[in-house]
Structure 1
C-alpha cells in the first residue's frame, strides 16, 4: 500500500511539473491550466512528503524505495503524456480532414 501511495504522489508531482513546462504543454497541445498557479507550492512539498512516507514505513529501505517509486511513476507519466499527445494529434488530424472535406463540398 505504501508503494502505491508513493507512486501516486510521485505521479502527481511529475504531472504538475510537466504542466509547468511550456515545452511539455506544446508537445501535448495543451493550454496552461488556470488552477496551476495555486499548486506551485505543492511541487516542492511532494518529494519530501514521499520520502517521509517511505521513512515512516521502513527507514532501512527508505531511499531505495523512494528512488524506485520515482522511476515507476516517471515511466507511467511519460507513457501517459505521450499517449495524450498522440490522442490529441489524432483528434486534430481528424478535425482537419473533416474541415477539408466540408470545404470541397
Structure 2
C-alpha cells in the first residue's frame, strides 16, 4: 500500500482539465457581469457614481482575468502545481468585489 509519503506517482487523470474548464466558466460569468454593468451604466443617467463604479468593475474584472489566465496556464502542465494562497485570496476578493459593485450599480 502506498501512502502520501512513499513517493508514489499520482495520476491526476482529468482533474486538471475539469479545473481549467471551471476557471473558464467563472471567467465567462464575470465577463457577463461586467457587460451587464457597462450596459446599465450606458443606459443610466451617466452620473459620476455610475461611471466610477463601472470603471472599478472593469479593473476588478481585468485583475480576475489575470489570476484566471495564470491558473489556466499552470493547469496545462503535465503535473500542475497547487493554487498559491495569494492567488486564491486574489480570486476570492475579485469575485466578491465584482458582485458588490455590480449590486450597487443595479440599485
TM bucket normalised to smaller = 0.3 to 0.5
Using structure 1 for the length normalisation, give the TM-score: 0.37
Using structure 2 for the length normalisation, give the TM-score: 0.37
More helix by share: 1
